[in-house]
C-alpha cells in the first residue's frame, strides 16, 4: 500500500493544505509501532516527530525511583514530540507505545523548517498543542480528585477515540503503570465495569460493550478534553 492514502488516517496530516501536503509527502516515513516501544526518553533531544495512525502512544512522567504515571495519550488525532517544534528540543516525559499499530515520522529538521515558515502548519500545531495541554491538566485534576473507576472510564474513552473499533489490547499491569496505581486496584475497577455490562476483559483484551454507559460512569474530565479537541482541531476527513 502506498504512503499517500495511509497518511490521511492521521487527523493532523489529513488537515494539511495541498501545498504543505505535497511538501511533506516525500519526507514522511512509515514506522511500525510495536507494544511497549519507547519513542523517546526523558531529557533526550528529539530526532523525529511521530504521527500515529493505528497506534496509541502514552506520554509518561517517570520519577527517580522508576514509578511512572501517564500525563496524556496521543493517537490518530495528533503528533508525538511537540517539544521539538515548541523550542524545547527535549522533555522530562517518556513516550511509550501503549497500543500497537503504525504511524509516520518526520525528521526534526523538516519539522522545524515547516514550523519556521509561520504558515498554516504552525497554527494547526499550536492549536493541537493547546488541546494536548488541556488533556495533561485535566489528567492531573482527575488523578487527584476522582475515583479509580472514573479514571479508568476516562482512560478507556480517550483511548477508544484514538482507535478504530471498540477493542483494546492492554494488560492490567500496563494500565496500572499508566494510571500510577497498584495492579490490584485496576483489577477491581475492571471487574466492576465488567459486572455492570460496560466492558469485557480477558487476557489483556478489553472489549467495550456499552460506550454510552461508560461515558455516563466517567467523570467530567473526559467531556472537557473531548470538547477542547473538537473545538480546536479540524473535523476528521474521510479516509
Q: Are residues 56 and 174 in the same domain?
A: no
The verdict on residue 118 lying in a domain is: yes
Strand 199-202 and strand 205-208: pairing? antiparallel
Query: Among the three residues 107, 126, 142, which one is the final residue of a domain in this structure?
Result: 142
Which pLDDT belongs to residue 236? 53
Which pLDDT belongs to residue 26? 93
The verdict on residue 90 lying in a domain is: yes
Which pLDDT belongs to residue 237? 41
**Domain limits at 81?**
3-142
How many CB atoms sit inside 10 A of residue 105's CB?
Answer: 22
Report how far residue 24's alpha carbon sits from residue 60's, in angstroms, rounded to the nearest whole number: 29
Q: Are residues 92 and 181 in the same domain?
A: no
Q: Are residues 137 and 208 in the same domain?
A: no
The verdict on residue 126 lying in a domain is: yes
Beta carbons of 154 and 142 less than 8 angstroms apart: yes
* 2 CB-contact burial (10 Å; exposed 0-12 / middle 13-18 / buried 19+): exposed
| pTM for this entry | 0.85
Please report, for the domain that includes residue 136, its CATH number: 2.60.120.10
Which pLDDT belongs to residue 2? 41
Q: Are residues 105 and 187 in the same domain?
A: no
Rounded to 10 degrees, the C-alpha dihedral 21/95/37/218 comes to -100
How many separate domains does the chain show? 2
Under-70 pLDDT residues of the chain: 1-5, 170-172, 174, 176-181, 235-239
Which pLDDT belongs to residue 1? 41
Amino acid at each position: 500500500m502506498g504512503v499517500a492514502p495511509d497518511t490521511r488516517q492521521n487527523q493532523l496530516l489529513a488537515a494539511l493544505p495541498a501545498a504543505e501536503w505535497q511538501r511533506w509527502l516525500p519526507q514522511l516515513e512509515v514506522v511500525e509501532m510495536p507494544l511497549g516501544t519507547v519513542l523517546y526518553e526523558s531529557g533526550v533531544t528529539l530526532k523525529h516527530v511521530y504521527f500515529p495512525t493505528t497506534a496509541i502512544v502514552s506520554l509518561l512522567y517517570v520519577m527517580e525511583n522508576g514509578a511512572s504515571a501517564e500525563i496524556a495519550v496521543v493517537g490518530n488525532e495528533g503528533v508525538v514530540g511537540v517539544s521539538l517544534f515548541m523550542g524545547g528540543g527535549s522533555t522530562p516525559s517518556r513516550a511509550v507505545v501503549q497500543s500497537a499499530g503504525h504511524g509516520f515520522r518526520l525528521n526534526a529538521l523538516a519539522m522545524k523548517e515547516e514550523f519556521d515558515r509561520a504558515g498554516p502548519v504552525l497554527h494547526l500545531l499550536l492549536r493541537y498543542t493547546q488541546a494536548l495541554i488541556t488533556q495533561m491538566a485535566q489528567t492531573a485534576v482527575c488523578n487527584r480528585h476522582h475515583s479509580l473507576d472514573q479514571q479508568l472510564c476516562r482512560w478507556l474513552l480517550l483511548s477508544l477515540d484514538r482507535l478504530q473499533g471498540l477493542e483494546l489490547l492492554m494488560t492490567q499491569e500496563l494500565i496500572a503503570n499508566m494510571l500510577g496505581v497498584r495492579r490490584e486496584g485496576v483489577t477491581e475497577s475492571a471487574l466492576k465495569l465488567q459486572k455492570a455490562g460496560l466492558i469485557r476483559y480477558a487476557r489483556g483484551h478489553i472489549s467495550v460493550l456499552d460506550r454510552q454507559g461508560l461515558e455516563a460512569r466517567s467523570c467530567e474530565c473526559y467531556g472537557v478534553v473531548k470538547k477542547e479537541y473538537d473545538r480546536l482541531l479540524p473535523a476528521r476527513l474521510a479516509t
